[in-house]
């Protein structure tokens, strides 16, 4: 058993990921922070920048990590990723009739249109698109935490517990939770929920895919 005295009141517990510091001699090569390049993070603040009292007796739970990525930039990065994937995918689909079925005549009622939404080749292209989106997000997130959109806007995905680049399982979970409902089930509702969470979730601005994979999106130098 350890003979170390218990931490004084108000001090974060040892398992608080953002109060951890690497042991002497094992600092990350990026210059002190596992979240990205640049100078070491600033010292803990005295108050929660989101207006709360913090999770651990008034200590800022964001202390020790770089700034969270701005929601507007996250949305823009996602739009860039959508264009990067959807435009080539659509062009590839044109010789095969296009990704959208426009063969139904104007006499079909709304119910018939809904019934035909995922029929035939459109379902095939929806599944192909789903595989491409999930593979794109999983590979680049596992590689260095950055899709092309995030790279352009200088932010990356980091594991919540230690700031490391997500492993394959976490990157895949994040991509599946984001893209499967968005492409096959309820796209408008799914995007709306995620956008609202990026602006309102405290203290880490986690969207649904972040909560599922235990990640955050942070700004980098």
pLDDT in tens, 162-209: 899 999 999 999 999 999 988 777 778 889 999 999 999 999 999 999
pTM: 0.67
In a domain, 126, yes or no: yes
With a pLDDT cut of 90, the percent of the chain lying above it is 43
Residue 124: domain span:
71-219
In a domain, 214, yes or no: yes
In a domain, 3, yes or no: no
Mean pLDDT for all residues in the chain: 75
In a domain, 110, yes or no: yes
* CA-CA-CA-CA dihedral for 140, 142, 144, 148, to nearest 10: 20
Per-residue pLDDT tens for 83-92?
999 999 888 8
CA 72-74-75 angle, to 5 degrees, is 65
In a domain, 60, yes or no: no
In a domain, 28, yes or no: no
In a domain, 5, yes or no: no
* CA-CA-CA-CA dihedral for 100, 96, 82, 141, to nearest 10: 130
How many domains would you assign to the chain? 1
In a domain, 193, yes or no: yes
Q: Which residues of 182-193 are buried (b: 16+ CB within 10 A; e: fewer)?
A: beeeeeeebbee
């Amino acid at each position: 058993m350890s003979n170390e005295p218990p931490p004084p009141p108000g001090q974060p517990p040892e398992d608080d990921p953002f109060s951890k510091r690497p042991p002497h001699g094992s600092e990350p090569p990026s210059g002190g922070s596992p979240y990205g390049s640049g100078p070491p993070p600033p010292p803990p603040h005295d108050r929660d920048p989101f207006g709360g009292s913090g999770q651990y007796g008034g200590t800022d739970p964001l202390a020790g990590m770089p700034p969270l990525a701005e929601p507007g930039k996250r949305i823009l990065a996602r739009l860039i990723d959508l264009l990067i994937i959807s435009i080539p995918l659509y062009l590839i689909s044109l010789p095969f009739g296009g990704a959208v079925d426009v063969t139904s005549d104007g006499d079909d009622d709304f119910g018939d249109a809904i019934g035909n939404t995922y029929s035939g080749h459109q379902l095939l292209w929806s599944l192909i698109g789903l595989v491409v989106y999930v593979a794109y997000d999983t590979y680049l997130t596992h590689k260095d935490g950055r899709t092309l959109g995030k790279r352009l806007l200088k932010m990356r995905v980091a594991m919540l517990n230690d700031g490391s680049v997500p492993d394959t399982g976490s990157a895949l979970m994040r991509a599946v939770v984001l893209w499967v409902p968005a492409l096959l089930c309820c796209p408008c509702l799914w995007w709306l929920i995620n956008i609202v969470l990026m602006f309102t979730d405290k203290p880490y601005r986690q969207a649904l895919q972040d909560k599922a994979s235990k990640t955050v999106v942070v700004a980098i130098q």
